[in-house]
Amino acid sequence: MKTIDELLAEGVDGKRVFVRADLNVPMADGLITDDGRIRAVLPTVKALADAGAKVVVASHLGRPKGAPDPKFSLLQAAERLGELLDAPIAFAQDTVGPAAHDAVNGLQPGQVAVIENLRFNAGETSKDDTERGEFADQLAALADVYVGDGFGAVHRKHASVYDLPARLPHYAGYLIATEVGVLKKLTEDVQRPYVVVLGGAKVSDKLAVIDQLLGKADRILVGGGMVYTFLKAKGYEVGSSLLQEDQLATVTEYLERAEKTGVEIVLPVDTLVAPEFPDLSGKAPANPGTVAADAMPAGQMGLDIGPETSKLYASKLADAATVFWNGPMGVFEHPDYAAGTRAVAQALVESKGFTVVGGGDSAAAVRILGFDENAFGHISTGGGASLEYLEGKTLPGLAALED
């Protein structure tokens, strides 16, 4: 795929460059709680603006139902982008209507506009090729060139991600080029030992990637809500913990295959438990207890890996040459259940290997828990996209950027 450096070498002065970014930032009470994805697209936007392009930034935010919804407006993200660029930003209150055209037509070389949430138009996410194509045609009227830099959306066959690049000269932005380079290190040129840490709520979200990793990873450390399906598959009591009973047969097969192929699947030896899920609104003390992983009382639910497991996982990461981490070890949003996730993050910081934090809640946890982002080899902006790449799937947004 052609990169933004090639575009800059060709010259962009006065050209309208459409940048498909990923400004899908977490919000609470109308405020951005983590601006990592906005900061990730800055190098691309700044390079284009500095070269004299008229930059048109577009993104989605949340999951509106194909119509305008104020709570999913990109206004806050646009304002934050302007703050980070230290430059005024024109904001259009629609996607392809009069406001968008006015904002773009009013740009001078080196200026930036942000159009409203792409998903306010049903054509963005439509499964109908014609409807999606018609929206892509409308977006194409706003630009002369397309730059794909929204890595967190490249696994979606959406109009701005998949259809629009076919209508304009297209290039990969700095973020996508970096993300793809990192993922190739995890799939094509892996330094060993290769250790993968998987967490998060549902084991079903990770089955396909586990299936692939059983032939590639040396160790897989499992935590989060998904681990209780693994523990149940081993015959342990899991109380009222999150459990996907319909996945037990698959998990059992994976455990058996791992033993045959020499892949070490590491499960908790202890876990933090409580009678109910903690209140996250006020983060009141939860007073958890610690029990052995094979001795969980009925009526208790597991909410984090325990202290002995934290030590075990740190030891299993100590000699790693390559680490990929996707998914927290527990309910890290509550301080009483953040220790396991913190321990894994700290082990990655101390690692001498190449460490990749695979987006989503893992990336959020790193920031919320106060770690220096520069202490990791790479923090991805796309958890779902990273997982699908590791599963071996073709990602529509990357395929669309290929020549």
Q: Which residues contact 140 (CB under 8 A, 6 or more apart)?
A: 18, 164, 167, 168
Q: Is 206 annotated as a binding residue?
A: yes
Considering 202, 257, 367, 393, which one is annotated as catalytic?
Answer: 202
Identify whether 377 is a catalytic site residue. Answer: no
Residue 144: alpha-carbon gap to chain centroid: 29
Q: Annotated binding residue at 20?
A: no
97-103 contact pairs (CB < 8 A, 24+): 100/142, 101/141, 101/142
302 is in an annotated binding site: yes
Residue 22 is labelled as binding a ligand: yes
For residue 386, give Cα distances in angstroms to 54, 152, 182, 337, 381. Answer: 30, 8, 10, 26, 9
Q: Is 192 annotated as a binding residue?
A: no
At which residue do the structure tokens 């459990």 appear? 243
Characterize 107-139 residue by residue with b for buried, 16 or more Cβ atoms within 10 angstroms of its Cβ, and e for exposed.
beebbbbbbbbbbbbbbbbbeeeebbbebbebb
The one-character DSSP state at 395 is: P
69 is in an annotated binding site: no
Active-site residue (options: 15, 37, 54, 157): 37
Q: Which of 224, 360, 382, 397 is catalytic?
A: 360
On whether 46 is known to bind a ligand per the annotation, the reply is: no
Q: Is 23 annotated as a binding residue?
A: yes
Torsional class of 114: left (φ above 0), alpha (ψ -120 to 50), beta (otherwise): beta
131 by DSSP, 3-state: which?
A: helix
- Answer yes or no: is 360 a known binding residue: yes
Alpha-helical (H) ranges within 21-97 are 36-50, 75-85
User: What are the CA-CA distances from residue 1 to residues 102, 154, 180, 212, 401 (Å)?
Assistant: 32, 14, 11, 25, 6
**Alpha-carbon gap, residue 44 to 23, rounded angstroms:** 13
* Segments of 124-203 assigned E as strands: 145-148, 170-172, 194-198
* Cα–Cα distance for residue pair 282/387, rounded to 1 Å: 32
Catalytic annotation present for 360: yes
For residue 61, say whether it is annotated as part of any ligand binding site. yes
Per the annotation, the verdict on 202 as an active-site residue is: yes
d(CA 180, CA 313): 28
| Residue 370 annotated as part of some ligand binding site | no
Residues labelled catalytic:
37, 202, 360, 384
Q: Per the annotation, where are the binding residues?
A: 22-24, 37, 60-63, 119, 156, 206, 302, 333, 359-362
Give binding residues for substrate as ranges.
Answer: 22-24, 37, 60-63, 119, 156
